[in-house]
């Protein structure tokens, strides 16, 4: 099992230059502390997210030595797939074979209108992009003709350093998307706020599709995370910012499994701590992680320590240190269920 760090900070955290420098410092800390990845994400039109995850991944690669670098996720229908394949192959070469690409179709129409891509084409573009990326990284030259994209006798230069190309993981929440992840991806990425029960059902659908396609399933779960020896202090540092993020994502339409909740102001921290957040003392965090591994079969976790409105950079570094020193070892020491 691996633990990576996922960066979600955007413009509302502070001046962009300062925020980006803090992301790079947190990536360096992840590298030093033994985390397995330092990944980026995006929306194209949002104060909460930066919109250029691949360029940011290049900067992270230049400042680190061992962590995986890349995205979780890039909204692949918004990119020319051959250019995306080239950029990520270059990232793989630059980083010494550490690139990792997570892609998704997105869920906000404004991401599409911002760059002039038709919202109604998202599923087709997502499917075709995944197939093109795979061909671009594994074939010397390839041609493709689909409903949206057409390429004749093209080659991606440079090719990725990793044999077989860059690992390609697909985010999905719908039955069709889960089957696509099983058919085309090296793994499935959950969203950050689905409950344990929701994740279990989706994982079953994804794994069945992966096995039918002859692929080995791999589940990567994104989780908000905040360990602390002092629960009251944890709630003070983490509670308001994480709850604000949960409510924002509910308004975006990214949380659909809260029965009876009709407005964001009805969401409580207690509900999310129960089976969505990794929160509390190191042992409580380890217990939550074990639940997701034992009951869902999660293979890897991408942890979000900082949100668009906080906590502070210094608090995030301290939380990462505590996770690496006490939570990860406690999970590793637990007997296999």
The three state secondary structure string of the chain is CEEEEEECCCHHHCCHHHHHHHHHHHHHHHHHHCCCEEEECCCCCCCCCCCCHHHHHHHHHHHCCCCEEEEEEEEHHHCCHHHHHHHHHHHHHHHCCCEEEEEECCCCHHHHHHHCCCHHHHHHHHHHHHHHHHHHHHCCCEEEECCCCEEEEECCCCCCCCCCCCCEEEECCCHHHHHHHHHHCCEEECCCCCCHHHHHHHHHHHHHHHHHCCCCCCEEEEEEEEECCCHHHHHHHHHHHHHHHHHHHHHHCCCCCCCCCCCHHHCCHHHHHHHCCEEECHHHHHHHHHHHHHHHCCCEEEEECCECCECCHHHHHHHHHHHHHHHHHHHHHCCCC
Q: Which residue matches tokens 């989706």?
A: 202
* pLDDT for 17 beyond 60: yes
Contact 322, 282 (CB under 8 A): yes
Closest CA relative to residue 242, chosen from 287, 277, 207: 277
CA dihedral 234, 289, 189, 272 (to 10 degrees): -40
Closest CA relative to residue 70, chosen from 245, 203, 187: 187
Interval 35-75: pLDDT, tens: 999 999 999 998 888 999 999 999 999 999 999 999 999 99
User: Token digits for 13?
Assistant: 């955290």
Domain range annotation of the chain: 2-333
Give the range among 93-102, 106-115, 233-242, 310-319 with minimum mean pLDDT: 233-242
**Residue 246 banded pLDDT, cuts 50, 70, 90:** confident
What pLDDT is attached to residue 94? 98
The pairing of strands 142-145 and 150-154 is: antiparallel
**Residue 333 banded pLDDT, cuts 50, 70, 90:** confident
**Residue 239 banded pLDDT, cuts 50, 70, 90:** confident
Mean pLDDT, rounded, of the chain: 94
What pLDDT is attached to residue 1? 62
CATH fold for domain 2-333: TIM Barrel (3.20.20)
Report the predicted TM-score, pTM, of the whole model to 2 decimal places: 0.94
158 preceded by cis ω (within 30°)? yes
Give the range among 92-101, 202-211, 221-230, 271-280 with minimum mean pLDDT: 271-280
What pLDDT is attached to residue 233? 86
**Residue 241 banded pLDDT, cuts 50, 70, 90:** confident
Residue 42 half-sphere exposure, CB side, CA atoms within 13 Å? 28
How far is Cα 247 from Cα 250, in angstroms, rounded to an integer?
Answer: 5
Interval 101-110: pLDDT, tens: 999 999 999 9
Regarding predicted confidence, which is higher, 247 or 215? 215
* pLDDT for 248 beyond 70: yes
The predicted model gives 192-203 an average pLDDT of: 94
**Residue 99 banded pLDDT, cuts 50, 70, 90:** very high
Give the range among 12-16, 40-44, 54-58, 203-207 with minimum mean pLDDT: 12-16
The predicted model gives 77-88 an average pLDDT of: 98
The predicted model gives 21-48 an average pLDDT of: 96
Give the range among 10-19, 54-63, 199-208 with minimum mean pLDDT: 10-19
Class of residue 109 by CB neighbours under 10 A (exposed 0-12, middle 13-18, buried 19+)? middle
* pLDDT for 136 beyond 70: yes
What pLDDT is attached to residue 237? 85
What pLDDT is attached to residue 275? 84
How far is Cα 74 from Cα 67, in angstroms, rounded to an integer?
Answer: 18
Interval 278-328: pLDDT, tens: 999 999 999 999 999 999 999 999 999 998 788 999 999 999 999 999 999
**Cα angle: 102, vertex 171, 4; to 5 degrees:** 50
26 preceded by cis ω (within 30°)? no
The predicted model gives 142-162 an average pLDDT of: 97
| Number of other CB atoms surrounding residue 31 within 10 Å | 20
């Amino acid at each position: 099992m691996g633990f990576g760090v996922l960066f979600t900070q955007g413009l509302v955290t502070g001046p962009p230059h300062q925020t980006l420098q803090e992301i790079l410092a947190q990536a360096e800390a992840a590298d030093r502390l033994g985390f397995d990845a330092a990944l980026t994400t995006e929306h194209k039109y949002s104060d909460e997210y930066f919109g250029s995850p691949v360029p940011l991944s290049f900067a992270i690669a230049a400042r680190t030595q061992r962590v995986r670098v890349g995205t979780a996720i890039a909204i692949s229908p918004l990119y020319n797939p051959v250019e995306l394949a080239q950029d990520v192959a270059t990232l793989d070469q630059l980083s010494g074979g550490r690139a990792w690409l997570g892609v998704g179709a997105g869920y906000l129409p404004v991401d599409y209108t911002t760059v002039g891509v038709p919202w109604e084409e998202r599923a087709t573009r997502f499917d075709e992009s995944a197939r093109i990326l795979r061909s671009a990284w594994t074939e010397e030259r390839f041609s493709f003709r689909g409903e949206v994209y057409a390429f004749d006798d093209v080659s991606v230069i440079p090719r990725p350093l990793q044999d077989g190309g860059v690992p390609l993981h697909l985010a999905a929440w719908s039955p069709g998307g889960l089957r696509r992840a099983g058919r085309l991806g090296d793994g499935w990425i959950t969203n950050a706020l689905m409950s344990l029960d929701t994740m279990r059902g989706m994982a079953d659908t994804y794994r069945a599709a992966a096995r039918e396609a002859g692929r080995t399933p791999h589940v990567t779960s994104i989780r908000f995370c905040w360990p602390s020896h002092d629960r009251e202090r944890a709630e003070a540092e983490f509670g308001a910012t994480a709850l604000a993020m949960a409510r924002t994502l509910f308004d975006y339409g990214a949380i659909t499994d809260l029965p009876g909740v009709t407005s964001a102001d009805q969401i409580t921290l207690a509900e999310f701590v129960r089976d969505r957040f990794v929160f509390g003392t190191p042992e409580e965090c380890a217990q939550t992680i074990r639940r997701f591994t034992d009951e869902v079969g999660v293979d890897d976790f991408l942890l979000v320590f900082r949100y668009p409105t906080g906590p502070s950079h210094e608090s995030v570094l301290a939380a990462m240190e505590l996770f690496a020193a006490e939570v990860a070892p406690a999970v590793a020491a637990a007997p296999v269920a």
